[in-house]
Amino acid sequence: MSTLELYTPTDLNDALRFLEHDGGNSAVIASGTDLLPRMRRRQISPSILVDISAFTEDLRFIRRSDGTIRLGALTTVTDLLESPMFYGRLSMVREAARLFGAPQVRNVATVGGNVCSAASSEDLIPVLMALDAKLKLASARGERTVPLKDFIIGKRQTTMKPSEILVEVSFNEPEGNSWTAYEKLGRRNMLILAMVNEALILSLEDDLQTIHSARLALNRVSGKIPALAVETSDFLEGKRVTDQTIVQAQKVMESELSLTSDFRGSGEYRTEVAQVYLRRLVERCARHIGGSS
């Protein structure tokens, strides 16, 4: 029987040095709320766990400077909920955090873990994708920054190398006539993985009727990969916020999405719900922008 070992590095650099040599056999563990159930189900079988959960001093923070918000990878979902940062224009972060798991999970589950899980049910990924988040990946050889939209390349597959650790997620704070909104459907309200989740950031021109820009992200657009709905987002740009625009955008969305069925719901149902959510998200954002200006 193979042995599972735990490596408790002294600091982040120690962890990175360790991964440089043994990254291939290792899994980085933060809270473990996703990793441990997957290990129990034999979906992954690392021989070494590298525990970074103690590095909260370096990796657990929510900072805002020069229009950019930075989240340390060990920031918990409860931290997001308790932060004053996610009211107003960024309220979709709070909405997603509120609908994330249940209190016991939110108290430990991390932003970095949610992103690295790269599953099609993660609550934070569509939100961060709509915000065009950038990921800072560290390794013993240095750091690199990749856009989240390029990071996830398949179901639970990312471009992260075994020698790397995600240390920070950052995104620009929406400004001016913009707002964000999030919708999630599951079979119950709490402690549920999403059948559909959908996040939108919408900016209007100064007339408060014409869409300047839109970025819509879903837990799945094609197959089981969270992604931006590029065609739908592009279609919305330059259009006025009217019932007709929304109906047309829903049609674009219907052709853009190719959703498969699984035990959580059929592809047809998911597509239907995603279209309904598109309307809600556009209307909610437009209403807030009109009301807040």
Binding site for other proteins (CB under 8 A): 1-6, 8, 29, 31-33, 36-37, 39-42, 47, 49, 51, 53-54, 78, 101-105, 107-108, 189-191, 193, 263
d(Cα 264, Cα 194) in Å, to the nearest integer? 8
Q: Which of 113, 142, 169 is nearest to 13 (CA)?
A: 142
Please state the closest distance from residue 37 (CB atom) to other proteins, in A: 4
SS3 60: coil
Residue 128 corresponds to which tokens in the numbers above? 């961060």
Distances (CA, A) of 94 to 1, 124, 125, 182: 44, 10, 13, 9
Nearer to other proteins, 49 or 246 (CB): 49
Q: How far is the CB of 36 from other proteins (least distance, A)?
A: 5
Nearer to other proteins, 103 or 176 (CB): 103
Contact 73, 169 (CB under 8 A): yes
**3 or 10: CB nearest other proteins:** 3
| Distance in Å, CB of 263 to other proteins, minimum | 7
Q: Helix 267-292 and helix 243-256: axis angle, to 10°?
A: 140
- Give CA–CA dist 135/293, Å, rounded: 32
Task: Provide the minimum distance between the beta carbon of 65 and other proteins in the complex, in angstroms, as a whole number.
Answer: 28
Residue with Cβ nearer other proteins (174 or 186): 186
CB 185 to other proteins: min, Å: 17
Given a contact cutoff of 8 angstroms between Cβ atoms, the answer to whether 61 and 71 are in contact is yes
Strand partners, 222: 225, 258
Instruction: Specify the residue, 104 or 242, whose C-beta has the smaller distance to other proteins.
Output: 104
Strand partners, 68: 65, 172
Given the complex with other proteins, which of 105 and 230 has the nearer CB atom? 105
Closest CA to 222 of 250, 251, 259: 259
Q: Quickly list DSSP for 81-109.
A: HH-GGGSGGGHHHHHHHHTSS-HHHHTT-
**C-beta of 6: minimal distance to other proteins in Å?**
4
Find all residues with CB under 8 Å of 244, minimum gap 6, and list them.
none
CB of 253 to other proteins, least distance (A): 28
CB of 264 to other proteins, least distance (A): 10
- The Cα diameter of the chain in Å comes to 68
Q: Which is nearer to other proteins, 2 or 65 (CB)?
A: 2
| 1/207 with CB nearer other proteins | 1
H or E segment at 274?
helix 267-292
